[in-house]
Amino acid sequence: MARYPHILFDLDGTLIDSAPAILASFRDAFAQTGIAPVRSIDESIIGPPLLETLQLLSGSQDAALTGRLADAFKASYDTEGYKATAAYAGVGALLASLAGAGLTLSIATNKRIHPTRLILEHLGWHTHFAHVYALDLFAPRLPDKAAMIGRLLADQAIPTDKAIYIGDRSEDGESADANGLPFIAVTWGYGSIQPTEMAAHWRHAATPEALGRTLLAD
């Protein structure tokens, strides 16, 4: 029996290459509103929540301005943009094998809940996941990923010694640490984390196949 029967996953950069679709919709949002971004719209901005990213790109904390950008982004991404999302090679087989082994899979993502559900349905993965959590799943919105993971564990009565978090960024590892969960960093995504930058107690996986072997053997 696997050591960790509950596997919690980040989404962007971990299971899916959502960068092309997200970046296209960010560019659409700035073009539609006539606002000029103050920094390059490239893969380095992928990961944080939408409003935080829009504040970074616009160089503004003005709620009305970022609200206009957010509305334009959602209009682009939530209709057609999300359909350009691609699964990383091998991830579909990984999820099927983990679910087939009787493990309980969950999503804990900074992505908004609506496009998260659309993407899981689009990729045919929605049946693999028992729980899908996002910051905006609740009102008031959860403050950060660490709080979201804590909420998922509490809501679903998941013991911390029976769960593990999988992600691609330092924030993911730190959020796992905050909840007493072990962490495996995937290094195939576009997250900023590299093996040489990881905390000593974190592990890493270079391919979905390697990750699957680790999770099924633990």
Taking only the tens place, the pLDDT of each residue in 56-113 is 999 999 999 999 999 999 999 999 999 999 999 999 999 999 999 999 999 999 999 9
CA–CA distances in Å: residue 15 to residues 31, 90, 92, 94, 98: 29, 9, 8, 10, 13
Say yes or no: 94 and 201 in one domain. yes
Interatomic CA distance for residues 218 and 214, integer angstroms: 6
Output the pLDDT for position 192: 67
The total number of structural domains that make up the chain: 2
Q: Are residues 204 and 142 both part of a single domain?
A: yes
Question: How crowded is residue 165: how many other Cβ atoms within 10 Å of its Cβ?
Answer: 27
Same domain flag for 62 and 102: no
Residues contacting residue 183 through CB under 8 Å, at least 6 positions apart = 164, 165, 166, 167, 172, 173, 176, 177, 202, 203
Which tokens in the block code for residue 95? 């999820």
Q: What pLDDT was estimated at residue 205?
A: 95
Q: Tell me if the bond preceding 140 is cis, omega within 30° of 0.
A: yes
Any domain includes 1: no
Say whether both 110 and 147 belong to one domain: yes
Indicate if 10 belongs to the active site: yes
Q: Are residues 181 and 94 in the same domain?
A: yes
Same domain, 134 and 195: yes
45, part of any domain: yes
Quick check: is 46 in a domain?
Answer: yes
Residue 199, domain member (yes or no) = yes
CATH number, position 100 = 3.40.50.1000
Give the model's pLDDT for residue 218: 64
Region of 212 on the Ramachandran plot (φ > 0 left; ψ -120 to 50 alpha; else beta): alpha
Establish if 156 belongs to a structural domain.
yes
Which domain-ending residue is among 31, 65, 83? 83
- The residue out of 83, 100, 129 marking a domain boundary is 83
Look-up of token digits 């804590």: 150
Picking from 112, 76, 70, 95, the residue whose alpha carbon sits closest to that of residue 166 is 95
Could you tell me what percent of the chain has a pLDDT over 90?
90
Q: How far apart are CA 74 and CA 104, in angstroms?
A: 30
Give the single-character DSSP code of 192: S
Residues 31 and 137 in one domain: no
- Give the pLDDT confidence of 21-31 residue by residue, as tens digits: 999 999 999 99
Asked if residue 169 and residue 116 are part of one domain, the reply reads yes
Q: Are residues 155 and 49 in the same domain?
A: no
Do the Cβ atoms of 47 and 193 come closer than 8 Å? no
Quote the mean pLDDT of the chain: 95
Catalytic residue among 10, 12, 168, 172: 10
197 with 175, same domain? yes
Domain extent for 105:
6-17+86-217
CA 137 to CA 156: how far, in whole Å? 15
Considering the domain architecture, whether residues 171 and 98 belong to the same structural domain is answered as yes
Q: Let me know whether 27 and 46 are in one domain.
A: yes
Lowest mean pLDDT among 10-14, 29-33, 44-48, 123-127: 44-48
Q: What pTM was computed for the model?
A: 0.92
pLDDT at 195 exceeding the cut of 80? no
Choose the final residue of a domain: 83, 106, 127: 83
Confidence class of residue 189 from pLDDT cuts 50, 70 and 90? Answer: confident
